Structure formats: structure tokens, C-alpha cells
Amino acid sequence: MKKELPSPEDVMKLTKHIVSELESTALTPENFFRIVQLVQTRLLLYNKRRSGEIDAVSLESFAGKTKEIDDLDQSMLGELTKVEQYLLKTQEMMIVRGKGNRPVPVLIPGDAKEPLEYIASWQARQSQNPAANKYLFPINGLTHMRAYDSLKRTCSECCLTAPSRITSVSMRKYTATLSQVLNLDPYQVEWLCRHLGHSADIHKSYYRHMSGFVERVQLSKLFLVQDLNMTSKYRGKNLEEIDISDLIFPDSENVERR
């Protein structure tokens, strides 16, 4: 059966709503579960991960997130543009358990970092029922909030034309479909496949190093372009040719370009 993909306008509207709510919602005990809902939805949509992979993210996985780059990534850098420097500085990455128990990456955009630090903190959990909960996105008791439920509740807060089309599965198809509009090189397609965790090459899926630099700089470009409905603007370009200075620095007139 053919499944209809999400509307790009709906994806953009939902993304802007979540970012706005994360900025305006006070980090207080009264808002604890509201913050859990918003930031869980943000990571699900931004990364196009399977909902089950976001459901069960542990505090241990979050504690092991990386911001610094390792020696291998450092050797790949060369001279970065201003946008790439910004993305590398603001994006963090954690490794979670994916399908078949494979480790998969989850990017943490800058707007989600402070809310995530809050819900993971002992001080915030001390006043909540899930004080001893091992999950990053807790709910009453010792279990986790379902990303599917968080997504549906958040969609209901916006006037979307087709909210039923927005699911973790349809968003993965949405990304794969829109990526065809861009002129991605074969190795860039491979980056995307390995991020989504559906590469057919078992050797590469299990043993090849997935660069944190590639995730935080190149793939985040792709996700930002799609979330803000700018795919048509960059039609025919590959990731290294895409300049999203106007998205990252909208108020700057003299942004350094490649």
C-alpha cells in the first residue's frame, strides 16, 4: 500500500513550533514532562530515527555524548567555512542502541542541549517520580515515554494540514525521497544510509568508522534544509556545495562563504 509522505510545509511548521516551545518553556519541575515530550519529539524528527531507538535512550548513552572531535576526525577537517565551524560547535552526538542492537548516532541540535541537560540532571529528577529511572525520557515509574505519543501530542498543538502523515517511518521515507532532489555523491548517500541505519552492506554497517564530523557538519546540513522546507533551493547540489549561511545567520549580511 502506498503511504503518503508528510507535507514539507507541515514539517517546517512543526519544527519551528518545537524550537519555539523549547526556547520559551521554563526549565522547572512543573514543566518536567512537557520538556521531555518536546525534546524527545525534536530528536526523533531531526534525526529521522526509528521511534523505538529514541524511546529507550539511556542516561548512560547521554552521559557519553561527544562534543569534541577525535584524532581521526581532526585529520579530515582542513579549513572549515563559518557555517561548518558553527555546526561543529553547536551539534553534539550520542550513540544509542539501534535495530539489531547496532550502535547508531543521534545528533543533538543546539536548541535541545540545555533542555536535555535539565531532564537528565539529578536535581530535576529528585522532585519527580522517575528519580531512579535509567531512561533519558522518563515517565512515571521506571519506564520511558513513547516517542510516538510525544510526536502525536506535539502534532496536535499545531494547525497541520495532514498530521497523520508525520510518523517516524514516514519521516525516514521523506528524507530519502527529498535527498534524491539533491545531487549527492555516492559517498554522501552512504553517509545518509549509515545514519538512518538501513545500509545493506553489513561490513560497513558494523565495522567502518562513522565520523562524528560528518554527522555533525554534513548530515546536519541536510536535516536543516529539509526541516525548513528549503530543498528546492538547493536542487542539484551536493552537501559540500550547500551554503546554509542564510539559515544559520539570518541577520548577518557579511557571512564568510566558501
**DSSP characters for 166-178?**
--HHHHHHHHHHH
Instruction: Assess if residue 55 is contained within a domain.
Output: yes
Instruction: With CA atoms as reference, report the closest residue to 3 among 122, 147, 168, 141.
Output: 168
Instruction: Assess if residue 255 is contained within a domain.
Output: no
Instruction: Assess if residue 86 is contained within a domain.
Output: yes
Instruction: Assess if residue 2 is contained within a domain.
Output: no
Number of domains within the chain: 1
Task: Give the whole-angstrom CA distance, residue 14 versus residue 11.
Answer: 5
Instruction: Assess if residue 253 is contained within a domain.
Output: no
Q: How far is CA 14 from CA 70, 108, 138, 230, in A?
A: 34, 17, 23, 15
Predicted local confidence at residue 210, as pLDDT: 42
Residues of the chain predicted below pLDDT 50: 1, 72, 200-210, 253-258
Q: How far from each other are the two terminal CA atoms of the chain, in whole angstroms?
A: 44
Predicted local confidence at residue 209, as pLDDT: 36
Task: Give the whole-angstrom CA distance, residue 197 versus residue 101.
Answer: 11
Predicted local confidence at residue 225, as pLDDT: 86
Instruction: Assess if residue 110 is contained within a domain.
Output: yes
127: domain CATH number is 1.10.443
Instruction: Assess if residue 50 is contained within a domain.
Output: yes
Predicted local confidence at residue 71, as pLDDT: 55
Predicted local confidence at residue 121, as pLDDT: 92
Query: Which residue is listed with cell 502525536?
Result: 152
Predicted local confidence at residue 230, as pLDDT: 86
Predicted local confidence at residue 102, as pLDDT: 82
Task: Give the whole-angstrom CA distance, residue 194 versus residue 48.
Answer: 12
Predicted local confidence at residue 202, as pLDDT: 31
Query: Which residue is listed with cell 517511518?
Result: 169
Geometric angle at alpha carbon 50, from 119 and 165, rounded to 5°: 105
Predicted local confidence at residue 126, as pLDDT: 81
Predicted local confidence at residue 251, as pLDDT: 67
| Structural domain boundaries, residue 61 | 8-248
